[in-house]
Amino acid sequence: MRNRSAFWPALALMAPLVLFLAFAYAVPFLGVALWSVTLPEPGLGQYERLVGDPLVQSAFLRTFRICLIVTVIAVACAYAVTYVWVRGTRMQRRLIEICIFVPFWISLLTRAFGWLALLSTRGIVNTSLQALGLTDGPLALVRNEPSVIAGMVHVLIPFAVLPLASAMRTVDERMLLAARGMGASRLRIFWSVFLPLTLPGVIGATLIVFVFSLGFFVTPAILGGGRSIMVAELVYLRMFQSPDWGLGAAISVALVILVAGLMGLLARFARLGLTGGGR
Amino acid sequence: MRIRRPGPVALVLALLVGAFLLLPLLAVVPISFTPGRMLTLPKGSLSLTHYRTLFENPDWLASILLSARIGLFTSVLSTVLATSFALGIWMLQPRFSSWLVGFVLLPMIVPPVVSAMTLYFLLTGMSRMSHAIGFDSVIGVTLAHVVMTVPFAVVMVLVALAQLDRRIDLAARGMGASVVQRIFHVILPNIAFGVATAALLVFVLSWEEIGVTLFITSIDAITLPRLMWMGLRDNVDPAIAAISVVLIVVTLLILLARMAFQRRPEFEEE
């Protein structure tokens, strides 16, 4: 250790936060885990319900389906904006920056409300469609799955941008030059050279977005209107509408295990990317 | 040098995504000027009714003040805890630092609904000691917000420290500066911008926190997002459009202020 004199002071600097989180976060989480095997009665009954109860099962399946769709759309959209953000002119980069980072700082509630303002029965889209005479009555654009997907994609795009940008920044320009020199078309250069080179970023972004989307609660609750309930909303309902804390706790534990597995995958992948990158 | 700027296809796609990202924010503006009680576009006349509601309805004002207070407390506590932790990591570089950092980043990685459940467990437990510090209290909400925001502050300060030249600190040490002198006269002045950004970010995160707040408040500690949530779930109240516009404008001002103070752009080309 090259800085021995600072050992005790440095430890004292780190201790407050570590102890605070141990008592305010780690220990209570163990308490929740305890709930999952003791409420309403001791045993693994709640975990049996996770796999057996059709309501819980359908919520999990719906969550996986929606999260998969959301992840694919969000990463694809993020790829397009990141491409221009990394490779565009100064003006284009500024513009993209505003589009990505201003919504990022705005509250989830405000953004969900924005979607309601756009899509509700008397919202901007329906009013415009009717004014143009394209539709007779209002379309049901909100309180359904597509609106939930739109809202979630909107929140998640910025999270996919950063891993994609760091992958795109490391692309060796000479590879693209070589491809062009050998007569490849623009599309061919992108498809056979640029995209494969940025694949590690795509996989990283996909995992991050998927993990984040699993725990989504506010956006689906507002835009879904209680119709297509996802896992996180199910936890909330089990806690506050039909007191069933044991099931809520069991779902929480299952979510943590799932996320830990995915993060482990991400970590392993990042390590492979570092050592196997050949740079 | 880039051999090729993005082509027309890439530009059009990026433009569409950009529009998608800005659209819901822009949509709020016209709705906020509607004279009616419904969520509609104003027809003919514009009105400031809903902006007046924000100042005249004591609920809105009280929740704005409460959120500001909690945000301020949270910002101070989180930033101090995170800066202290990051300094310790930077000075010691312990072998287990990746584990330690991983541990303090947990609240950022774990799904918010799980954190909400965890903090609900903590605060209902604390309520048994005293109602002033547990469930549905200002102190309880602040505590929960510190847990949720501290990882973001840690990341910000660690990034700032990573850009600091270690030789400056070594020089100070070589000339006999104590640990306290090194921290307050050498390290902190050099990462002041990063620390300030962390404090700002924490304030914003606490100010708009809803996922956890929903679980740990019921009737007393109604923060602004909590009040908005109630208005969004039942009958959508156009006053929310007005408050949303105010929030967007405030956020834009904060971002602009931050840009003005920033010494140089983060991503400069080559």
Determine, yes or no, domain membership for B156. yes
For residue A211 the two structure tokens come to 């993990």
- The closest of A227, A249, A224, A225 to A236, measured between CA atoms, is A249
Chain A 4-23, CB below 8 Å of chain B: which residues? 5-7, 9-18, 20-21
For A182, other C-beta atoms within 10 Å of its C-beta total 9
Cβ-count burial A146-173 (b if 16+ within 10 Å, e if not) = ebbbbbbbbbbbbbbbbbbbbbbeebee
Q: Give B263: exposed, middle or buried? Use CB within 10 Å, 0-12, 13-18, 19+.
A: exposed
Cα separation, B168 vs B69, in Å, equals 38
Asked whether the beta carbons of A104 and A158 are under 8 A apart, the reply is yes
Answer whether residue B49 is part of any domain. no
Structural domain count, chain B: 1
In whole angstroms, give the CA distance from residue B109 to residue B146. 15
Q: Domains in chain A and their CATH numbers?
A: 47-163+172-276 (1.10.3720.10)
pLDDT band at A279 (very low <50, low <70, confident <90, very high): very low
Nearest-angstrom CA–CA distance, B209 and B206 = 5
Q: How far apart are the first and last CA of chain A?
A: 29
Instruction: Give the SS3 label for residue A103.
Output: helix
Q: Which residue has the higher pLDDT, B142 or B259?
A: B142
Q: Which of B83, B121, B208, B268 to mutate to test the interface with A (most CBs of A within 10 A)?
A: B121
* Whole-angstrom distance, CA of residue A61 vs CA of residue A58: 5
Asked, for residue B250, whether it belongs to a domain, the answer is no
Band of pLDDT at residue B134, cut at 50, 70 and 90: confident
What tokens were used for B196?
């300030």
Q: In CATH, what number is assigned to the domain containing residue B128? A: 1.10.3720.10
Task: State both tokens at A84.
Answer: 């221009």
* Chain-centre distance for alpha carbon A14: 30
| Residue B254 and residue B200 in contact, taking contact as beta carbons nearer than 8 Å | yes
Closest CA to B90 of B8, B183, B213, B2: B183
Q: Which residue range is the domain that position B215 belongs to?
A: 68-94+101-221
Alpha-carbon distances, residue B224 vs B56, B109, B170, B228 (angstroms): 15, 25, 47, 6
A residues 198..257 contacting B (CB < 8 A): 211, 214-215, 217-218, 221-222, 231-232, 235-236, 239-240, 248-249, 252, 255-256
Give the C-alpha separation, B165 to A96, whole Å. 32
Nearest to B84 by CA among B142, B149, B174, B161: B161
pLDDT in tens, A145-161: 889 999 999 999 999 99
Q: A168 to chain B: nearest residue by CA?
A: B2
| Within a domain: B14 | no
Stretch A56-71: mean pLDDT, rounded? 92
- pTM of the predicted structure, to 2 decimals: 0.87
| Backbone φ and ψ of A247, nearest 5° | -65, -45
**Of A225, A6, A124, A59, nearest in space to B28 by CA:** A124
Q: Which residue has the higher pLDDT, B32 or B263?
A: B32
Which B-chain residues 130-189 have CB contacts (< 8 A) with chain A? 143, 146-147, 150, 154, 179
Please tell me which residue, A3 or A237, carries the higher pLDDT value: A237
For residues B212 and B119, the answer to whether their CB atoms sit within 8 Å is yes
For residue B12, what is the nearest residue in chain A, using CA coordinates? A80
* B113 close contact with A: CB closer than 8 A: yes
Give the DSSP letter of residue A241. T
Q: Give the whole-angstrom CA distance, residue A47 versus residue A52.
A: 9
- Digit-coded pLDDT (tens) for A168-220: 998 888 888 898 889 888 888 889 999 999 998 999 899 989 998 998 888 88
Domain presence at residue B18: no
Tell me if chain B has a CB within 8 Å of the CB of A270.
Answer: no
The whole-angstrom distance between residue A268's C-alpha and the CA centroid of its chain comes to 19
Structure token digits, residue A110 = 């405000």
For range B183-187, the mean pLDDT: 92
Distance from C-alpha of A265 to C-alpha of A251, rounded to nearest angstrom: 21
Which residue is listed with tokens 């996919």? Answer: A160
pLDDT band at B158 (very low <50, low <70, confident <90, very high): very high
Average pLDDT, chain A: 86
Closest CA to A79 of A185, A227, A209: A209
Position B270 pLDDT exceeds 60: no
Residue A278 has a pLDDT of 35
- Residue B177, in any domain of the structure: yes
